[in-house]
Structure 1
């Protein structure tokens, strides 16, 4: 009997095969190794069905149909349906006695393979294999540590609950807000809403509004030079410490006079300190660094790390949110350092600074979550096989790992304090005594080591020069890709509701580097890209990547309810997902709670409580009187249609200079066709003589006021209208 291993990606499948013993045989959609079979997915190969695939009436967006009555059903993604069929056949193969789930070691990886197994409806036992490092040596170790997949059932339930709840929010509220807007405005627009993307947009909009409306206020800072007995120190400016900004020049002038007439007591606090090497990268920090140094987008960095892991097997799990490394990796350090020395034999790194007997603070099992930090593997590479961008990211990751075997930087810190009653000046001077890891990074000694000697026997009494410097308050700068990514891991600091803030912080209490964030490093990158594609934000095309909200983005955040533009839902869902993971809540209970909040929001929209009128001129439909005319891009040119189209109003008219034409030109009529006969129905128009389509020798009559609704017609008899044949 055989075991069937289902990997998340083909590259992982090949890595699993490489770690197995036995003869290898490549087959259709799987690889046989010894007695085992290894197949693969392509990420998610199943998707939740669209609403109209569940109920055809949902194809047309209609406010009356909301909330959607959804049964969660999965469908194959067309591009990977063939491989799904292969996997299902292998699961049902009578020779397969056991299935081994090899999804990535996180919640998303758990549900990715679980959904395939559930879709197959198999009753065979399922095991779980967790793989961070895909080198053969690491895979062999994990093959000996396979667990029961039932141990991960609650994690799977939590993941499915979140996925389905995100689906419900997106499908229902995107329709609700879009239809609400279209009903109230003279143009057509779709407003996509999501649990993660909408709060991200709100952060950007709020930062832009702060900058757009900020009014600078002048304040004053006092800097002084003192008559030290050493010329080097006497050149240094000391800044007056104040509890609050000095807002009035008169107060600043008064303080200046007091400083010049005071005798100051000098104190020097000396402390020997150490600066440890920076921790290895998690995905967020790597994305931020790559953005700052190379101008890479978050998505680009994620894609590069994916290639480094799967194609080149050069790094460990790349979507990690952890900065720490297990001690088992420390035991493999010599092999890892040796591989990096081989890979960077071109002299890019000076390995003389690397001491494998050192052990940095990064090696800490107590701080490992589902993953460990992104580090190099033992794979020996020819760096010429990496493209330029892959080499940049691989070099960053390798450098950070090697820093863990460098000595700390050592330095002396001197805090100089000048005190006269409540007038206090402070200055801290640091002097490196041992470069440590800074030497590996190519840093040099301090520029002014002579200052260190100047501090011995230092004496000062009076200020000899006091300058009042006028400054202005500034808003937080507009977001860049780097600063936004950093902020997304700590949005709790912007939350005013103490309960929500506490929940967000609790969610991340086991995650070093995260402090009340929303989304994951991987999904954040996707959300930023999505916001740009939906024209909610713009990203500058330079290395800095300044992010600003568009008019559409500002309008939407100004319209959407607080519950959906703040991180509240993520916090509230976390609390319920925690109950699911502990076995205290079912998926159905969770979905029921989410559905109720959606229902409440839709009811507000139906009741007209959520206004979404923009500053464009509103033109109500002249036909139904309820809808508004919106400009639509048609195949044959722009035209206006009624927002109540889905409710049955079919009014439309041409666009002339961007405005609806309420006097559409008729096709020229042959004047000889208009007769002297008055229409007996409307009494306004005259009858028009028209040839029959089927027999041009026969004629019929219609009213000239047909455009205004008169439907009178009759046949011709003896060259005249036959009113008795009114049809």
Structure 2
């Protein structure tokens, strides 16, 4: 008997649907006509033991007991899903062949592997276990995946990396949370001060942004705009570019701070002759935007519809599991495998049938075109989020689900349109010895842009520049007048879900150390596609962040926490070093212990720092939320996952996990 172990019941049902009929539904599994069975986890069936499982003394939080470091890591069945674990135990014992069908990502790999380890599957059976990677729950895609199984042994490094990260997060979060909570009590703060490798740097981003805005001192600056006319009476405007001689009256961003200087320029140019110094015209091409990964989808949906990251994830998960309208949504990839191109015609037909509004008034998509999205070298376990070949019934979707589906579908459609081609013109004009510049953009071929310029929200349509008359070098002009434009410097904007997600994925922008910045550019940033939404929600639930409309702000507790912690705990630098090591484990370049040993040394150092100082920034701060329990969330449903700062552990190595 072959036993397929899916990550969630929805995936299990999709696998069972393509097995020999008739199917027999049993308690916790489905049996096919040929005797093969499909069962599933319900997210994580196992959870890491609490500290008091290792020693009863850890029930009480004491600084002297830290750091807590298990000698042998323990997993225990979750009470709520213990019955399903028993079902799997029986089926695994009966099976001649096991097939791992966890979601196609690092966490999905570990989720099933840890069950096999806990059930003490024999080495022989483990060695023969196959890996089934499914990103589309429709029958044709599932059948295709069944015919392309790989050895699960190939994914041992991926599992080891996930295991190392989960244990490291537990060690870091469990110890630092206890240490800082105990110190917080000494200054009167009664809540739990949750500290995590990812959540705390994310909170640090928001706190520092809020402080920058609060400390910002606006100042006026001045620009000069000249109104010019050709000999044919055609008018256009150009903006003054101050020379180096003006530097003493400008700020570091090149803005003129003295109004008198701008007024002097206006008086000098009014009614004067001008000359076109140069005309630079270039034809430019813009390829279609790549299909979405989860973060880019969340960012666009927040900008366009105001949806939170969690709302987008929930909707995408429903579109994937319940409606089977999109592929696996927790993907970090924006590329597609070459073989997927064979399905393009079917997918396009499904979009045209279910979401024809996307191409109304546009040229028809051309399935023979191949954008840069199809690139096997940039696709690993999963690919970009795209529509499936199932036509959508938009009327049957919620407003949010419909919005998310149309975003995904439109981004996919764009791959089958020509490039956007336009003429970019830059003009330099000299007036009374001063330099003035202007530019314009003229469409030559809309290509994929035609899908976006009709967006009723207007958010996707670029601000159009006024067209310039035909100009040539040396052409005489007349400056009709000049105008001083007084403006005020603006502080950065508060974070929204979109900008905070963008900051998390592009965290290297917030790092000054060039080596660490390089590492972060080469990794996924702070958190993963599957956990970023949950991290933001977790910080809100724990009272460190709050929402005001679309704006995300730090609470007093959040500010106090960041301003009391050692600076290294509030920056993304450590995450960069972790991710670099975890990626190296995936590539078999370093071993598990090479990562864990220095991590423990660092945790020891941080606990020493925390124990030697009191968090005075939290004195007098009241908790905005009651003390929370560290609840474990599970993969599946909309999950807030993250366990950043608390959960998830596993074994010394995947092989050892099988016997622990």
Query: What band does the TM-score fall into relative to the shorter chain?
Result: 0.7 to 0.9
Displacement of 1:539 in angstroms is 0.7
- Once residues 564 and 617 of structure 1 are traced to their aligned partners in structure 2, the CA distance between those partners, rounded to angstroms, is 21
What is the CA distance between 1:384 and its match in structure 2?
3.2
Aligned to 1:566: 571
Secondary structure at the residue paired with 1:431?
strand
3-state SS in 2 of match to 1:484: helix
Match of 1:605 in 2: 610
Partner of 2:86: 85
Does 1:536 find its partner at 2:547? Answer: no
Provide the residue aligned with 1:222 in structure 2: 224
The 1:235–1:349 alpha-carbon spacing in structure 2 relative to 1, beyond 3 Å, is closer
Match of 1:205 among 187, 194, 207: 207
Distance 1:249 1:325, change over 3 A: same
Matched ranges for 1:366-405 at <5 A: 366-405=377-416
Please report how far the alpha carbon of residue 420 of structure 1 lies from its aligned counterpart in structure 2 after TM superposition.
6.2
Name the residue aligned to 1:479.
495
C-alpha spacing 1:381/1:186, structure 2 compared with 1 (3 Å): closer
For residues 394-443 of structure 1, the C-alpha deviation after alignment (integer angstroms, 9 at most, x for no partner) is 12111221122123333222222214697322211112233333334454
Query: How many angstroms apart in 2 are the aligned matches of 1:424 and 1:133?
Result: 57
Give a deviation string over 1:419-473, Cα, whole Å, max 9, x none.
4697322211112233333334454999999956644799434433222222222
- Which residue number corresponds to residue 52 of structure 1? 52
Aligned residue among 237, 255, 263 for 1:245: 255
- 8 Å contact kept, 1:230–1:454: no
Distance in structure 1 (CA, Å) of the matches to 2:577 and 2:555: 29
2:580 corresponds, among 575, 579, 587, to 575
Q: Summarize the Cα distance change of 1:308–1:155 in structure 2 as closer, same or farther, 3 Å threshold.
A: same
> What's the CA shift for 1:383?
3.1
Find the counterpart in structure 2 of residue 690 from structure 1.
none
Q: Distance in 1 between matches of 2:90 and 2:393?
A: 39
Report Cα offsets for 1:162-198 as digits up to 9, x if no partner: 0000011111110100101112x13412110001100
Q: Distance in 2 between matches of 1:114 and 1:231?
A: 76
Tell me, in whole angstroms, the C-alpha distance in 2 between the residues paired with 1:22 and 1:166: 44
Q: Judge conservation of contact 1:304–1:389 (CA < 8 Å) in 2.
A: yes
Work out whether 1:436 is the aligned partner of 2:439: no
How many aligned positions are there? 606
Q: Distance between the aligned counterparts of 1:165 and 1:186, measured in 2? A: 30
Counterpart Cα distance in 1 of 2:195 and 2:516: 20
1:548 maps onto 2:564 in alignment: no
> Larger Cα Rg: Structure 1 or Structure 2?
1
Which residue does 1:650 correspond to in 2? none
Deviation per residue, 1:637-693 (Å, 9 max, x gap): xxxxxxxxxxxxxxxxxxxxxxxxxxxxxxxxxxxxxxxxxxxxxxxxxxxxxxxxx
Any conservation in 2 of the 1:181–1:613 contact (CA below 8 Å)? no
* 8 Å CA contact retained: 1:241, 1:426: no
1:159 lines up with 2:169 in the alignment: no
Residue in structure 1 matched with residue 651 of structure 2 by the alignment: none
- Name the CA distance, whole Å, in 2 between partners of 1:352 and 1:226: 39
- 1:149 is aligned to 2:152: yes
| CA contact 1:225–1:238 (8 Å) conserved in 2 | no
Cα offset for 1:241? 5.5
User: What does residue range 55-66 of structure 1 map to in structure 2 within 5 Å?
Assistant: 55-66=55-66
Q: 1:279 aligns with which of 290, 304, 309?
A: 290
* Matched residue, 1:110: 109
Match of residue 353 from structure 1? 364
> Partners in 2 of 1:170 and 1:421 — Cα distance?
65
Query: Once structures 1 and 2 are overlaid, which stretch shifts more, 410-419 or 577-586?
Result: 577-586
Contact 2:210–2:553 (Cα < 8 Å) also in 1:
yes
Provide the rounded CA distance (Å) in 1 between the counterparts of 2:334 and 2:423.
28
Q: For 1:487 and 1:594, how far apart are their aligned partners in 2? A: 25
User: What residue is the counterpart of 2:641 in the other structure?
Assistant: none
Pairwise CA distance, 1:598 = 1.1
1:616 alignment partner in structure 2: 620
Aligned-residue Cα RMSD (Å) equals 2.9
> For 2:466 and 2:255, how far apart are their aligned partners in 1?
34
The residue number in structure 1 matching 2:18 is: 19
Alignment of 1:561-710 (within 5 A): 561-606=566-611, 608-612=612-616, 614-616=618-620
Q: Which residue of 2 aligns with 1:317?
A: 328
Structure with larger RCO (C-alpha < 8 A, sep 6+): 2
- The whole-number CA distance in structure 1 between the counterparts of 2:615 and 2:411 is 51
* C-alpha distance 364-190 of structure 1, shift in aligned 2 (>3 A): same
What residue number does 2:476 align with? Answer: 460
Distance 2:175 2:462 in 1: 60
The answer on whether the counterparts of 1:26 and 1:32 sit within 8 Å (CA) in structure 2 is: yes
Contact 1:353–1:439 (8 Å) recurs in 2: no
Q: Deviations over 1:171-226 (max 9, x none)?
A: 1110100101112x134121100011000000000100000001122222121122
> Residues 386 and 459 from structure 1, CA distance in 2 versus in 1: closer, same or farther, beyond 3 angstroms?
same
**1:180–1:612 CA contact under 8 A, matched in 2:** no
Q: Any idea what the Cα deviations from partners look like across 1:9-66, whole Å, max 9, x if unmatched?
A: 1111111122334542222211122242111111112111111232222111111111
- Cα distance, 1:259 vs. partner? 4.6
Distance 1:447 1:579 in 2: 44
Distance in 1 between residues matched to 2:49 and 2:370, nearest whole Å: 51
Q: Is the 8 A contact 1:277 1:360 kept in 2?
A: yes
| Alpha-carbon spacing, 1:11–1:350, altered in 2? closer, same or farther (3 Å) | farther
8 Å contact from structure 1 (residues 224, 239) kept in 2: yes
Q: Is the 8 A contact 2:12 2:39 kept in 1?
A: yes
Deviation at 1:346, TM superposition (A): 7.3
User: Judging changes above 3 Å, is the alpha-carbon distance between structure 1 residues 127 and 580 closer, same or farther for their aligned structure 2 residues?
Assistant: same
Aligned-partner Cα distance in 1 for 2:25–2:232: 79
Answering whether residue 490 of structure 2 is matched by residue 507 of structure 1, we say: no
Against the structure 1 CA distance between its residues 496 and 439, is the aligned structure 2 distance closer, same or farther, given a 3 Å change threshold?
A: closer
- Extract unaligned runs of 5+ from structure 1: 509-516, 619-629, 635-727
Deviates more, 1:11-20 or 1:528-537: 11-20
When normalised by structure 1's length, the TM-score is 0.78
Provide the C-alpha distance between the structure 1 equivalents of 2:492 and 2:426, rounded to a whole number of angstroms: 29
Structure 1 residue 235, shift from structure 2 partner: 4.0
The alpha-carbon distance between structure 1 residues 92 and 352, as it changes in their structure 2 partners (threshold 3 A), is same
CA distance in 2, matches of 1:447, 1:76: 56
